[in-house]
Structure 1
Amino acid sequence: MRTITVVAVALMLVLAGCSSTPTEDTTTGDPDVTNTTQAPDDTPSGERQAVHPPDPESDVLGWEEGYWYNETVNVTRDDGLNDSELDAVVSRSMARVEKIRGLEFDKKVPVKVISRDEFRSEQGKQTTPPKRTLFDNVKFEALMMIDESTDSIAVQTQNSGTSVGGYYSPGKESIVIISNNQSSPKMNEITLSQELFHALQDQKFGFDSFDQSTRERHNAIDGVVEGDGNYLDYLYEQRCNNAWQGTCLMPDESESSGGGQLANIGPYLLKFQPYSDGPPFVKAIHEEQGWEGVNALYENPPASTEQVIHPEKYPDDEPAQITVQDRTSNGWERLKPEGRPNFGEVGEAGIFSMFMYPAYESQRAPVIPANQFINRDSEGNPQEFDPLNYRSTPTEGWDGDKIVAYTNDNTPKNETGYVFKTKWDSNKDATEFVDAYKRLLNYRNAKQVDGRQNTWTVPDSTGFGDAFYVQQNGDTVVIVNAPTVNDLSDVRRGSAPQA
């Protein structure tokens, strides 16, 4: 569970031709920002306490380890926090998270602050099983984001090294905050609040109860996990700007500038979707049903990214169950990666990101115009709370998908192929997807193959040099990929038939 820095969001908006970056809204309907609830010593909750108010007789919401949510702590952020300072800030932030969210921590959460260089060094020590790496490569090749010669895991690792502001580890039940200051890593209280809340989510709802085995399932669950976390960030920062003004450990300009450039914005677009659509999804539930309604989401989380992108489809519009039968020959075999399913799912969010990516790569609009990705207010500026829009005509009718990878030891360089199967709400929706996919092929300089039905080749110079067969059958579309036209029917029998 990770906090993504605002820098990467700003990058998306800059690439989309926007002049401003998303900021936290300074107005909210949440009553606790400006209410008259009395603090323990009968002073208004919006006023800071210069000394410790009396501790309660038992643990209560808004108090943790000797600190109330609205009292000051005596720390010096500029030179980093020593152990006692860190302990005080963490305890007060836990109290503040409790106060906002109405949930009590079961136990203290260990927190450490490290530099971004140290974080990147730790990432570099991680390894991924070979077949899992290969499958991931095929998945992002199928989305036409990362070319055949590039290690997709390395790309995503570099992206994380740039964009992640902190993370909670369920396995270790601990938090790491990442600082861009290399000499004296500094605490960012807003990042801390979200990671503390992820720890609280784990304590109350249990992350191990969720199936996040594919990117689609991961993003769908994160619509609640990250949506709730980022909504809490939003409310927390309101209090920092209002009731708690002057007491929060906020990043300075250098800390807000991020950790450098993304290696490839494509995977980031895909992974960012729940951070974009999740907060307004959760906010709407909170405003209608209170925190009890939000808590209930953990028992019945969204079944798809479609349900988060289109809240009106939650919870009744379940995705279709997609199956891909292996119809291979001549040495082609299904790739079965270690420790994960032998298929991928990317959902509406993934297909949207596939079609949006060329607009950022090329600064033009071959499939979906970049300006359609921005939710704008009445003055034409990006909306502050919900700046990004993952809806588009070619993707709104999504009903399910699967990506299956195939390998063949007999091919040169042990090349791969895949089947990318999608189902849509109607024949019209399927046709709109196919039309958009053909524009994507055209963007990659594809040429239609004479004498073959619905078959294209993409030149090697694009990095995606392969043969493609696109078959629509009513509301279902099957895309077959192979190194050559002749290989298509070996990867999936019946592909690329004679015209």
Structure 2
Amino acid sequence: MASTEMRTVTAIAVAVMLVLAGCSQAPGTDTTTGPNATTQGTQSTAAPGDGAAVVHPPDPDSDVLGWENGVWYNETINVTRSDGLNNSEMDAVVNRAMARVEKIRQLEFEKKVPVKVVSRSEFKKNQQSQKTPPKRRTFDNVKYEALMMVGESTDSIAVQNRNTGSSVGGYYSPRKESIVVISNNESAPKMDEITLSQELFHALQDQKYNLSTFDQRTREDHNAVDGIVEGDGNYVDHLYEQRCKNAWKGTCLLPQNEGNGGGGGDLANIGPYLLKFQPYSDGPPFVKSVRQKGGWQAVNDLYQNPPASTEQVIHPKKYGADAPADVSIRDTTSNGWQRLEPKGRPNYAKVGEAGIMSMFTYPTYESQGKTQIIPFNKFVNRKNGEPAKFDPLNYRSEPSAGWDGDRIAVYTNGRAAANETGYVFKTKWDSRKDARQFVDTYERLLQYRDAKKVDDRANTWEVPQKNGFSDAFYVQQKGDTVVIVNAPSVGDLSDVHAGAAPKQ
């Protein structure tokens, strides 16, 4: 539905603290978060316009930056917000927000974007009704199982749909060229201007750069491109919010508390959220650094050559200088095992440095801080003792920083009623030392899942049946490359990938 999504940083930052404090509230997943403000009565949004209030100044002779559809970025508008916005009020708010986005980003809208506001319950219902082809569902399940986030008996698509339904504050649909803003107020859904500005900018990006042309077929490709798409969007959102607090103070329809059911709570699983959130945290400082060096034109140029990996967004100095390795997996299956081929999708997954970091960070959340493979204080960026709003999470760590490339292949075997699955997770690293560090940390992750080593020579492990990840694992390092093979039992390992482990 929403191929480009956005969220506010505040939800994740606050929820990080809540989760580790043992609370049940948690942030959402792949789209804009942030509850809409509740304001009683009529609100006069007289924008001081970087200095003084302006009441309908003369229209320009032609379309200019900071003016859209008869409304200036600093023009006074009046709306009655307590009962939602009527059509004329919605037009005024949208037009001025478009003008404000133009003023900040120095790009001109080519056409108006339709906007509607829906309730949280309606959005959740729509998310739950989405259908996913069986092979794609199985493939996605195994991908998150390989990251040790979603157990093999759990539906990862349902997990992500619930995450999205709970956390999204708004989205722009390139297919429909329209925006939906989600309100937590059920009786009279209300507008959140910050969320609106985020999604309006996505529409502007689409008009200028055609977002549908980017290759985002794997999670790593998606996150890498989002380093500019969402990084630029969140950076503009940050600048917009700063002006709402200063130059436009008192004139913006800002988010406040709307009660329970808001974006960020009721997460099904924080693991997929952590992986998908990476460009929303690392993207804005990446874009800011580019703008500081070359202005907005340098940021515009990024759309012609977007980041090729999450590594390039996490480590901006690697952008354009460290291309990811092209990792391949040769199928060597036997005894009924076959590679899964989802229709219309690649027959492999890529998760990137962001995926490796998220995999090692997830136990901290799941165990509520009892097991910290990546220490919590190294993952959360703080400002004045609180999680930073602009760049709240740090996706750099020693076990993940040497990443150079990865690929996950999924295999199925229909000989059993359960239609068993296995996978090969292959990673390449900058050096033998980096690969060894990854293996050591991955073995700590296996031990967190109660795995026991059953063969020292072959580095083979088993996770007990009581665990949601109960399988056999083979871990092999050769120089700067690591291959992890997963199968239902030790005896199946070499059938999934020849030579993985000796048959019992």
Same fold (TM over 0.5): yes
- Are 1:418 and 2:423 counterparts? yes
Per-residue deviation at 1:194?
0.6
Identity of aligned residues (%): 68
Partner Cα separation in structure 2 for residue 337 and residue 496 of structure 1: 28
Per-residue deviation at 1:488?
0.1
Question: Which residue of the partner structure matches residue 207 of structure 1?
Answer: 211
8 Å CA contact 2:118–2:182 kept in 1: the answer is yes
8 Å CA contact 2:13–2:388 kept in 1: the answer is no
TM-score where L is the length of structure 1 = 0.92
- Are 1:3 and 2:9 counterparts? no
- Are 1:220 and 2:229 counterparts? no
Q: Residue 475 of structure 2: SS of its match in structure 1?
A: strand
- Are 1:441 and 2:454 counterparts? no
Partner Cα separation in structure 1 for residue 403 and residue 466 of structure 2: 31
Question: Which residue of the partner structure matches residue 147 of structure 2?
Answer: 143
Question: Which residue of the partner structure matches residue 62 of structure 2?
Answer: 58
Write out aligned runs for 1:264-413 (5 A): 264-363=269-368, 364-377=370-383, 379-413=384-418
Question: Which residue of the partner structure matches residue 432 of structure 1?
Answer: 437
Cα RMSD (Å) of the superposition? Answer: 1.9
Runs (5+) with no aligned partner, structure 2: 28-47
Runs of 4+ in structure 1 off by over 4 angstroms are 16-19
Runs (5+) with no aligned partner, structure 1: 23-42
Match among 467, 487, 494 for residue 492 of structure 2: 487
Deviates more, 1:388-397 or 1:364-373: 364-373
Per-residue deviation at 1:74?
1.1
Partner Cα separation in structure 2 for residue 13 and residue 479 of structure 1: 33
Per-residue deviation at 1:48?
2.1
Match among 254, 261, 266 for residue 258 of structure 2: 254
Per-residue deviation at 1:93?
0.3
8 Å CA contact 1:213–1:341 kept in 2: the answer is yes
Match among 103, 106, 109 for residue 107 of structure 2: 103
8 Å CA contact 2:15–2:264 kept in 1: the answer is no
The C-alpha deviation readout for 1:95-132, integer Å capped at 9, x for no partner, is 00000000000000000000010111111221111100
The C-alpha deviation readout for 1:58-88, integer Å capped at 9, x for no partner, is 0000000000000121111111001111011
Write the letter of the residue equivalent to 2:89.
Answer: E
The C-alpha deviation readout for 1:187-229, integer Å capped at 9, x for no partner, is 0000000100000000001112210000000000001000000
8 Å CA contact 1:459–1:466 kept in 2: the answer is yes
Q: Residue 461 of structure 1: SS of its match in structure 2?
A: coil
Write the letter of the residue equivalent to 2:15.
Answer: L
8 Å CA contact 2:49–2:248 kept in 1: the answer is no
* Alignment CA distance shift 1:416-1:44 (3 Å): closer
Per-residue deviation at 1:286?
0.9
Q: Residue 4 of structure 1: SS of its match in structure 2?
A: coil
Per-residue deviation at 1:283?
0.6
Question: Which residue of the partner structure matches residue 183 of structure 2?
Answer: 179
* Alignment CA distance shift 1:325-1:384 (3 Å): same
Write the letter of the residue equivalent to 2:350.
Answer: E
Q: Residue 78 of structure 2: SS of its match in structure 1?
A: coil
Per-residue deviation at 1:10?
1.6
Partner Cα separation in structure 2 for residue 224 and residue 255 of structure 1: 33
Partner Cα separation in structure 2 for residue 210 and residue 451 of structure 1: 45
Write the letter of the residue equivalent to 1:92.
Answer: R
Per-residue deviation at 1:14?
2.9
Deviates more, 1:243-252 or 1:129-138: 243-252
TM-score where L is the length of structure 2 = 0.91
Partner Cα separation in structure 2 for residue 186 and residue 139 of structure 1: 38
8 Å CA contact 2:13–2:387 kept in 1: the answer is no
Partner Cα separation in structure 2 for residue 273 and residue 176 of structure 1: 23
Q: Residue 394 of structure 1: SS of its match in structure 2?
A: helix
Q: Residue 418 of structure 2: SS of its match in structure 1?
A: helix
Per-residue deviation at 1:451?
6.9
Question: Which residue of the partner structure matches residue 36 of structure 2?
Answer: none
Question: Which residue of the partner structure matches residue 161 of structure 1?
Answer: 165
The C-alpha deviation readout for 1:38-67, integer Å capped at 9, x for no partner, is xxxxx9632222x31111110000000000
Partner Cα separation in structure 1 for residue 424 and residue 475 of structure 2: 10
Per-residue deviation at 1:288?
1.3
8 Å CA contact 1:333–1:408 kept in 2: the answer is yes
Write the letter of the residue equivalent to 2:251.
Answer: T
* Alignment CA distance shift 1:198-1:451 (3 Å): closer
